[in-house]
Amino acid sequence: MPKTDPFSPAVFGCGMINGGTIPNALADHVQARGTIRSMDENTDKVLKESFNEIVARSTAGGFKTTLTATGYPAVINHPTAYQRLLEATRQFLPEENIESNGKPMTGSEDFSYMVNATKGKVGAMFFLGSGNQAKGINNYLHANPYFVDDDCLLVGAQIFVNLLTRK
């Protein structure tokens, strides 16, 4: 990825490759699925072009390749919405349970479409922790198995009600 800004987060990962039916013959069809995530459209474009170049080089040009890329724009928290969310959260969680380091994350969410549809793109996204070490619930989101400490649902609801009723 030398074509991207080294200070702009970019993720290019392949999590699944399927193809062929026997081990000693070339597959007539191979499908690779993965993820491309970044903070801006230009980096997305560079990553997609790089993927096509890698595939073309690895197949020595002897195969047809197609990249179908769908995804979501980056979620960019609006400063005012972020501050309101932080204040609402502090009503229900102690400061040591709030991570607010301002570093970009490369999570992929359709919430970006909702924020971009608002007047002035005013919105903020947060992650509500769903684990509980004391109860042995400590798997990461999308892990197998994944368990949720149901107590977090009440905290999340309280934060949203506080946010919506805040002046």
Domain check: are 67 and 93 in the same one?
Answer: no
Q: What is the pLDDT of residues 141-167, one digit of tens each?
A: 778 888 999 999 999 999 999 999 987
Could you say which of 28, 48, 71 is where a domain stops? 71
pLDDT of residue 2: 56
Residues 17 and 55 in one domain: yes
Residue, of 108 and 32, whose pLDDT is higher: 32
Q: What is the mean pLDDT of residues 77-89?
A: 93
List pLDDT tens digits, range 105-140: 777 788 989 998 999 889 999 999 899 999 999 988
How many domains in the chain?
A: 2
Domain boundary among 71, 88, 117: 71
1 pLDDT band, cuts 50/70/90, is: very low
Q: Write out the DSSP string of 58-125.
A: HTTT-S---------PPP---HHHHHHHHHHHHTTS-GGG------------THHHHHHHSGGG----
